[in-house]
Structure formats: structure tokens, C-alpha cells
Chain A
């Protein structure tokens, strides 16, 4: 009887180790053994994650990982770790996660119900909505003016989806990344470029002549940004969320926000009372 049992257990262990369940390693275990937290982030989305003039890979999302998530993960695994960054774009970020190439997506990813079927999201760390970037003086003032116009969007982004479904009268052109879409706007291939408002402000601020461009229209989508993780890894998610929760409570989050979006920040973008309430509601405040 015991022999049979032992055999069954051994079999289970063997199959367990070679089966897909074990191939999907526990993220905290992996970080503990390698000492590295690998994140997927953007290179051209100021001020969230971008390469700055000094050729450094920086941004608000990256600071949150370095100063908020990393200490929390270090507590969870009981050793010091370092953060490694890899480039991720909307079409590649979920595959990067599921293939274990990265552990955490920390860039500009909107938390949506569809994506939640494939990945888990952390607490929301930024809240914005889609608007349009146009040449100053453009006839496009809001989403009501886009009929027949050529509108660029980033492929894989939520706002492209909304335009296709609800505003088929616009001619949608989708580009794999922001620089190509902006180039198309600069040269007139398209009449407007839609993305999350905050990213458009970022793009405008970094343009050679910021005054030539205008961000117009009300938010036509809701874009709560979260950090994405492999689905069902509760321990890792708890560590990431604990870090963010502490930062909301201690005010560290608002310090970092101020560094990037404050009056003297990279991109002044005062936080509205609504957004503040939305963020704090997540931690029961």
C-alpha cells in the first residue's frame, strides 16, 4: 500500500516537474534565485518611460518600480535584487510576460477586462483618457470632428479599438510605435494622432517646436494604468501591490508624481481631485 502510494507520489513529482505547471515558475522564487527583477517598459513614452537626452532610460513608471516595487519585492524574497529593463511595446508585452522573458510590465499599459483574462494587474498607478494631438489651428477640436479624417493610433492600444468600433467614419491608421505615428502627423500622412492624453502632452513637450501642437478634446476613453504580471501568481502580485499601497499611504507615490508631473517636473500635469480620490479609493481611503 505504502509502496503504491510512494510510486504515485513519485510519478506525480516527475510529471509535475516536467509538466507545464512547473515550467511556469513562481515569480518570487525566480527573483530570489536570480536576484533580478526583469521589467518590460517603453523607450519612447515620456514621461513614463523613455530614453532621455543623456541616453538614460528613465521615467515615472521606472521610478515607481525602482523606489516602490523593488523594496517591497526585496522584503518578500529576503535579499537585495536589481531591476533589469527590457523594451516592450503594446503588441509584445503580453507575450513577453507569458514567455517568462519579463516578470512585470511597467510602462503605460491600460488595465482592461479583456487583458485581465490573460494577465493580472497591480493597483492603478495612473489615470488618464484618450484625446487627440493636432497641428495648432486644426479643424479637429474633439471626437465629433474626426469624420472622414485620417487618424493615427498606436496598434494594440485601447483607443484604436474604441475608434474602430464607435467611430468607423474616421480613417484609422495604426502604427506599431509612437515615433512613427508622430512622424506621420508631422508630415501630414494623418490629420490627428490619438493616444492617452498624458502621453500626448509628453510627446508635445518633447517635440522640436512644442507650440506647433495642441492636445484637444475630452477624454473619450478611461485609461487606468496598471503594472501587469503573469496570471494567478498571487504572491508576486501581493508584493507589488504592497509596495504601491505603502507608497500611497506614506506619500512616497505623490513625491514621485511631483518629480515628474509637478510644477517643476518633466511634464507639469497637476493631479485633479477626482484622480487623487480614484487612486486613494483603491487602498480604502
Chain B
């Protein structure tokens, strides 16, 4: 009656290849979504701090709309809701060229963009107003002040919460399996289908996510040390 473990299912047959494929899809999906999220996050985060009200409102609307609806719903929205708005020919082309991947990538990127923008905003708001005023006094435009002074400092301040958000994004990529993206969690389920060994398959998936996230966290800790702003109380002591 006891469950008999059979770990060999993870490397016999096609399991190994599936896991590698799943891992690559997860990385590709997450990396592209991360780029979208960071771009949208910086844009919306910065716009939420500017003086021009319509822009601030637009950014606020984006953030509140996208972060307050479950990611699963966004997956369905981009996969089932958006294509019917496109011409039939475009739809067919998309469906034959990985529509589920792009829908999943946009769902993930736009959703996390809204969340990352809040991280960026808090970074920007922790910078004394006088720095912004000083840059204007130096003759910079608002755009130049943000690009050259405010954002570079803000981005150095927000490395820890941004790491957090990036790890979340990576793990949330598994939701894309609901729209048939064959990422890592999908492949672990695949192994379960073929071997009926669920616990082994789930363990393999868990360990791969863990290793991925720990590697990212380690790299980001180095980035944090490297870019820490000297003199601030939160400064991480150099290693060694």
C-alpha cells in the first residue's frame, strides 16, 4: 500500500529532455517578460512621480488595473480575449507561430511591470526633492533629470525588492501552462502522465526552481554590493 519511489523515471526515457526543454522555455519566457516588465515598470514608476497630472493618472490607472486582477485571468485575457480583436489572417498566423507563448509573455510582463513600477516609484520617492531641483537649476530638462540623476540613483536603491519581484516573475511563469505553454511545470506534469510518478516529477521541478532562484538571488546580491551607494545606512559590507 505504501508509495514506492522510482527516481529513475527522471532520467530514463524522454524525461531528461523534457525537463531541459521545459527549463529553457521557462527561462526564455521569464527573460522576455522581465525585459517588458522592467521597461514598463521604469516608465510607469517614473511617470507616477512627475508633476504633469494626466501622465500621472495614466500611469496610476495602468498600475492599479493590472496588479489588482489575478495573473491567471491575464493569461486567459491575452490568449482568449485579444486574438478575436485581430483580423482572421493575423490570428491564424499567430496561432501557428506560438500565440500561447507570446500571450503568456505579455501577461507575465505587463502584470509584473505594474508591480515593479511600485518598487521603482518608492526608489524615486526616497531621493530628496532637492536633487531634482538642483538638476533643473543646472539647466537639465525634466527628462534629462530623470534619465541622468533620479533614475540611476533610484535603481541602485531598489535592488533588493527588485530581486524579490524578479524571482516572483520567474515562479509565476508556471501559470502559463494554463494556456498550453510547455514550460517547466508543464513538463513535470508530462513526466507524471507518462510514468504516473507524481512525487518524483514534482520534486524534480521544485529543485530546478529552487536552484534557479538561488542562482539569481546570488547574482543579485553581488550586483547589490557592487552598486551600493556609499554612505547610506543600508549599505551591505563588502564580502571578506
Residues on A facing B (Cβ under 8 Å): 20-21, 24, 26, 90-91, 94-95, 98, 114-115, 117-119, 150, 152, 155-157, 160-161, 171, 173-176, 180, 183-184, 187-190, 230-233
Q: List 6 A-B contacts (CB under 8 A).
A: A91-B189, A98-B198, A155-B177, A173-B100, A183-B80, A189-B99
Complex alpha-carbon distance, A161 and B193, angstroms: 8
Q: Does A24 lie within 8 Å of B180, measured CB to CB?
A: no
Chain A nearest CB from B79 CB (Å) reads 7
For A161, the chain B residues whose CB sits under 8 A away are 193-194
Given A174-B180, A176-B177, A233-B1, A189:B95 Cβ within 8 A: yes
Q: Does A188 lie within 8 Å of B193, measured CB to CB?
A: no
For A98, the chain B residues whose CB sits under 8 A away are 3, 198-199
Chain A nearest CB from B8 CB (Å) reads 12
Q: Does A155 lie within 8 Å of B95, measured CB to CB?
A: no
Q: Does A187 lie within 8 Å of B83, measured CB to CB?
A: yes
Q: Is B219 an interface residue (CB 8 A)?
A: no
Q: Is B192 an interface residue (CB 8 A)?
A: yes
Report the count of interface residues on B (CB-CB < 8 A).
33
Residues on B facing A (Cβ under 8 Å): 1-4, 6, 76, 79-80, 83-84, 91-92, 95-96, 99-100, 177-180, 182, 186, 189-190, 192-199, 202
Q: Does A180 lie within 8 Å of B196, measured CB to CB?
A: no
Complex alpha-carbon distance, A114 and B182, angstroms: 22
Q: Does A156 lie within 8 Å of B96, measured CB to CB?
A: no
Chain A nearest CB from B75 CB (Å) reads 10
Complex alpha-carbon distance, A233 and B196, angstroms: 18
For A183, the chain B residues whose CB sits under 8 A away are 80
Complex alpha-carbon distance, A266 and B172, angstroms: 40
- The residue on B at minimum CB distance from A118 is B196
Chain A nearest CB from B61 CB (Å) reads 28
- The residue on A at minimum CB distance from B95 is A189
Max chain B Cβ within 10 angstroms of own Cβ: one of A94, A230, A233: A94
Given A94-B196, A95-B198, A173-B180, A21:B2 Cβ within 8 A: yes
For B83, the chain A residues whose CB sits under 8 A away are 187-189
- The residue on B at minimum CB distance from A120 is B1
Complex alpha-carbon distance, A114 and B193, angstroms: 9
Complex alpha-carbon distance, A161 and B189, angstroms: 12
Chain A nearest CB from B132 CB (Å) reads 48
Q: Does A189 lie within 8 Å of B186, measured CB to CB?
A: no
- The residue on A at minimum CB distance from B193 is A156
For A20, the chain B residues whose CB sits under 8 A away are 2
For B195, the chain A residues whose CB sits under 8 A away are 114, 117
Q: Does A24 lie within 8 Å of B1, measured CB to CB?
A: yes
Chain B nearest CB from A28 CB (Å) reads 12
Of the candidates A114, A152, A173, A230, the one whose C-beta lies within 8 Å of that of B196 is A114
